[in-house]
Structure formats: C-alpha cells, structure tokens
A and B are shown apart, each in its own frame.
Chain A
Amino acid sequence: MLASLYLVPPTRIEPKTSEKLSFNMSETATHAADSHHGFAHPMPVWQLLAVFFALIALTILTVAQSTWELGSSELVVSLIIATVKASLVILFFMHMIHDKPLNAILFLGSFIFVALFLGFTLMDAAAYRDSIEFKKVEVVTTAE
C-alpha cells in the first residue's frame, strides 16, 4: 500500500485493494503471494508437545551422560546435546522454520562474531598462559 506512505493531501481516495503493493519489495517478494492476513503461522499443538518431550528427553540424556566415563569428550558431548536442544527451541518454539531467511541469517550470523571474540581471546590467553605467575589468593573476610 504505497500511497499511504506520504502525508496527505486534500482529498481522500480509497485505494483499490488490488493495487496493494508489498511495501518492501526486495524482501517481501516471497510473501507477495500471501494474503494480507497470512503472516500468522500457528504451530500445531502436537508439534509443540513433541518438541517439549524431546527437550525433556534430551535433558534426561545430558544428566545421564554426566555419569558416563567419557573422559575428555565429556564436554563435547554435553555441548552437542545442548546444541541439539537449542536447535529444537530455535526452530520450533522460536518459529525459525517459518521465519524469513534474513532473521535466521542475522541470528545465526551473530554466532560468527561470538566465535571471533572467543576464538581470538582464548587463543591469545592460551598462548601467553605460561608466562603468568599465579599469586596466592588473599581471602577477604566477610562480615561474619
């Protein structure tokens, strides 16, 4: 509905609905076929429940795996389980599967910057780690 963009003039002309133009052409082009009210995508209840029970199952799994002897891969396994859970939440509870690609790219892209931040900082810390001398901590007395 491009016309209503601008401030107004003396007369009113009702727009023909067929002339509605998607406001943001480049990005809503894929939505062009949608009807005007078509942007709500209610999640089916079974999907919500399935995701929830999957999440609970994975929580049980991650608690269980903490008792297994996995050695150094323990952290990796628990992070993989957490990431699977996070993906379920993002895809279904957060509706990313119905969302625009741009939003998904933005959100997932932010992890690139997180990786950059953590990567450089940790790499540096690991590299100068041996040059650090730890001092014994003096514990501050609490009020008691």
Chain B
Amino acid sequence: MSNTTITPDAVHAEHGHEDHGHGHHPFQAHHFDDTQQQYDAGKLGIWLFLVTEVLFFSGMFCAYALYRARNPEVFTFASQFLNANLGAFNTCVLLFSSLTMAWAVRCAQLRQRFGLVLNLAITIGCAALFLGVKAVEYTHKWDMHLLPAGYYIPQFTQTAHHAGVSPWLYRLCAIPAVMLVAFAVWFVMTKIKGEKRHSEIAGSMLFSAALFFVGVGVGVGFQNAEAAAHAAHDDGNHEASAHADDSGHASAEHAHAEDSHAHAAQGEHHESVADSYAMASTEPATGSSTATLVPGAPTLDMVDQPGGAGIFFSIYYCMTGVHAIHILAGMGVLTWLLVRATRNEFDEEYFGPVDYVGLYWHIVDLIWIYLFPLLYLIK
C-alpha cells in the first residue's frame, strides 16, 4: 500500500484539457484514474441506459400482450396487412448492421482505422436502408387507411395492396433526397479540394443516403411483386406461392373474393380498390357496422370484432415508430463516431465510445428481433 499522500499528476486544472505527459491518454477525463476506470464507468453507464431502454419498450410490449390476449383474432387478421417479406428483409439488414457494428468495435480495439470507418459507414448505410424500406411500408399502409384505432378504416380483405408509388412516399422522401444531393455536392467538393478526411465522411454520408433510396426501391419492388402476385393469382398462376415465407398473405389470399384481385394491380389509391366493395370505405360512420359488407367473405367475422383492427395498427405504429426513432438517433451517434474515427481517435485503450454506441445499436436490433415475429408473423 502506498503511503503517498501527494498526488503525482499535479493540478489537472492547470493543464486544462491538454495531455500532460505522464502516461495519460489524451481522451482520459481528469476525474478518472486511468483509462480502464473510465472505460468501466462508461460501460456500466451504457448498460444502465440499456436497462432503461428495456423498460421503456416494455410498456409497448405490455400493451401488445394485453390486446393480443384480449383480441387474438384481431391480431391474426390485421397482421396479414404487413408484408412479411419486407419484414424479413429488414431483419436481415439490421442483423448485418449489427455484424458491421461489432466488427467496428473490433477495428477500434485493433487500431484499424480504415476498417473502422468502413464498418461504421456500412452500419449507417444499413440503418438508412432499413428506414427506406420502412418508409415504403408506412406509406403503403397510410394509403390503405390502415391507421391507428381512432383513424382506422376497416379493411375487408388484404387485397387493397396496390402497385405503384404512394404520394406519401414522395413527400417522405423529400428530406432524404435533399440530403442525398447535399452529400453528393459535398463529396464532389472534397474530392476537388483533395480533402481526404472530409471526402471519407462525405462519401460515407452519400453512401448512406443512397442506400435509403435503395431501400425505397426494394420496398416498392416487393410491394409491386406482391400486387402483381395478387393479380396473377386470378389466372391460376400461383406465383404467390413462391413467397413461401409470406404465409399470412398467401393463406388470406385464397380466402378472398376473387374479383377483388383484379383491382389490386391497377389501383393507385384505396378508393379504387374500395369501390369494388359493397361499401365505400371512406364513409367512416359505417366503420363499425360491418354486417352489410361483402357477403360471404370469410374475413368478415374477423372484422366484426369489438375495437376492430385499429388497435393492432396503433400498436404497430407505436412500436415500429419508436424503434425507428431509435434508429434515427443511432444514425446520429454513429455519424459522430464516424467523424471521430476519421480523426483516428480510437485505440486499444480508448474505444469506449465505439463500444457504447455498439451496445446501443445492438439493443435496437434486439428489439426488432422481437418485433418481427410478434407483428409480421402472426398466423
């Protein structure tokens, strides 16, 4: 045990934030003894933050469990409107982003600057890809009036799927489009000026913004294939069965009145689809009285449930919406890491920030791992 009563490292304050030469890491905060203590404190802190995240989401899982236990048939019915293919695609995207994130931590620990920047850029890109797909899913549902309980307009089949691009999607893509252009300009300028570090950042950002639109493309492609499958189904072409994993749609499809499928491919808006029914779904007041609708359609019984399917979409929007906000926040902190990574600020003693953001990113993935089967794969 040391009897030293005098601290060796002089007045910290005297040095401000400078590194003062006896073994202190430049990013070691002054109130910590060494980088390990700093790392351990940060690690405990981020785990505690994850605990708060778990409890935060538990409220929505509680609402989910409550209403699913109360109205299981509503969940079975409404889940058909979610595109399980897109859900599975997005799951894989997030899993891949988790891989690159974990790899980024490894690179930070091994001082692999290029690997770190690359992995972070891919992680941000995957997040953008995820959001692009999500944008398509959301706007598609808005078109179909698959909205939270108070605004929900009952759907009588899931054939309201339509091809083409939703007008909502254009609006939603406005901001990413502006960002894409801005990043492109920035990237070109850095290239011209020969600022290598800045062009790395700008390139990563450009890559991510572009991936958002790749996501949008994938989403629209899937949706169109879906609609085409519905249309084709009439001709006895069981293309839809190729979507082996898309059972909800596949099985529901067989159950529905045949004539409605023909409309699916051409309908841009739900009105055109809804017109084919006995009731125009835009008349909200009739929403609860479903007795008059499409006689013989098996889904009728499902619709005629107390509360309708709106509660499912309430929960769907809340859970995926809050999750998407977490993705956005994650993209923000990942970008901050990326900037720091290009400055080569991380090494085996100071990789805490990468590790902490990684843990956050993994829990966002973790939540999606549960959301996917709970929302998309209900049968």
> Do A and B assemble together?
yes
Interfacial residues, chain A to chain B (CB-CB below 8 A): 1-15, 19-21, 23-24, 27-28, 31, 34, 36-37, 39-43, 45, 48-49, 51-52, 55-56, 59-60, 62-64, 66-67, 74, 78-79, 81-82, 85-86, 89-90, 92-95, 99-100, 102-103, 106-107, 109-111, 113-114, 117-118, 121-122, 125-126, 129, 134-142, 144
Are B33 and A89 in touch, CB under 8 angstroms?
no
Are B55 and A110 in touch, CB under 8 angstroms?
yes
Are A111 and B88 in touch, CB under 8 angstroms?
no
Q: Find B247's partner among A37, A67, A78, A114 (CB 8 Å cutoff).
A: A67
Are B47 and A62 in touch, CB under 8 angstroms?
no
- C-alpha spacing A32/B369, complex, angstroms: 37
Q: Does B244 contact A (CB under 8 A)?
A: yes
Which of B105-113, B199-207, B317-325 lies on the face that meets chain A? Answer: B105-113
For B62, the closest partner residue in chain A by CB is: A118
Q: Does B159 contact A (CB under 8 A)?
A: no
Given the interface pairs A7-B11, A43-B106, the reply to whether A78 lies near B151 with Cβ below 8 Å is no
Are B288 and A49 in touch, CB under 8 angstroms?
no
Are B58 and A117 in touch, CB under 8 angstroms?
yes
- The secondary-structure label for the interface of chain A is helix
Q: Does B84 contact A (CB under 8 A)?
A: yes
Question: Other CB < 8 Å A-B pairs besides A37-B348, A95-B355, 16 of them?
Answer: A5-B33, A19-B2, A34-B36, A66-B248, A67-B245, A81-B373, A90-B362, A93-B98, A94-B363, A106-B44, A113-B55, A114-B58, A135-B306, A136-B306, A137-B310, A142-B147
Q: Find B66's partner among A59, A121, A138 (CB 8 Å cutoff).
A: A121
Contacts of B39 in A (CB 8 A): 39
Given the interface pairs A49-B99, A62-B373, A67-B245, the reply to whether A125 lies near B69 with Cβ below 8 Å is yes
Q: Does B150 contact A (CB under 8 A)?
A: yes
Contacts of B307 in A (CB 8 A): 134, 137
Which of B89-97, B182-190, B215-223 lies on the face that meets chain A? Answer: B89-97
Count residues on chain B whose CB falls below 8 Å from chain A CBs: 88
- The secondary-structure label for the interface of chain B is helix
Contacts of B147 in A (CB 8 A): 142
Given the interface pairs A66-B245, A137-B287, A139-B285, the reply to whether A3 lies near B377 with Cβ below 8 Å is no
Contacts of A43 in B (CB 8 A): 102, 105-106
Identify the interface centre among B11, B91, B95, B285: most chain A CB within 10 Å of its CB. Answer: B95
B238 to chain A, nearest CB (A): 15
Contacts of B351 in A (CB 8 A): 40
Q: Does B328 contact A (CB under 8 A)?
A: no
Contacts of A93 in B (CB 8 A): 98-99, 101-102, 358, 362, 365
Q: Does B29 contact A (CB under 8 A)?
A: no
| 0 or 1 for each of B294-335: is its CB under 8 Å from A? (1 = yes) | 000000000000111010000000000000000000000000
Contacts of B178 in A (CB 8 A): none
Contacts of A6 in B (CB 8 A): 7
Q: Does B114 contact A (CB under 8 A)?
A: no
- C-alpha spacing A40/B105, complex, angstroms: 10
B320 to chain A, nearest CB (A): 16
Q: Does B293 contact A (CB under 8 A)?
A: no
Contacts of A8 in B (CB 8 A): 6-7, 9-12
A30 to chain B, nearest CB (A): 12
For B51, the closest partner residue in chain A by CB is: A110
For A77, the closest partner residue in chain B by CB is: B373
Are B377 and A62 in touch, CB under 8 angstroms?
yes
Q: Find B69's partner among A20, A24, A62, A122 (CB 8 Å cutoff).
A: A122
Contacts of B10 in A (CB 8 A): 8, 12
Q: Does B171 contact A (CB under 8 A)?
A: no
- C-alpha spacing A8/B95, complex, angstroms: 49
Nearest 8 interchain pairs by C-beta = A134-B306, A139-B287, A136-B288, A78-B373, A63-B245, A139-B284, A66-B377, A67-B247
* Contacts of B101-152 to chain A: CB distance below 8 A: 101-103, 105-106, 109-110, 145, 147, 149-152
Q: Does B379 contact A (CB under 8 A)?
A: yes
- C-alpha spacing A86/B308, complex, angstroms: 32
- C-alpha spacing A52/B66, complex, angstroms: 33
- C-alpha spacing A78/B5, complex, angstroms: 60
- C-alpha spacing A75/B145, complex, angstroms: 27
Q: Does B37 contact A (CB under 8 A)?
A: yes
Are A4 and B7 in touch, CB under 8 angstroms?
yes
Are B6 and A42 in touch, CB under 8 angstroms?
no
Contacts of A27 in B (CB 8 A): 40
Contacts of A34 in B (CB 8 A): 36
A34 to chain B, nearest CB (A): 8
Cβ contacts A to B, 14 pairs, < 8 Å: A4-B7, A8-B11, A51-B99, A100-B43, A103-B44, A106-B44, A107-B54, A113-B55, A134-B306, A134-B307, A137-B307, A139-B154, A139-B285, A141-B284
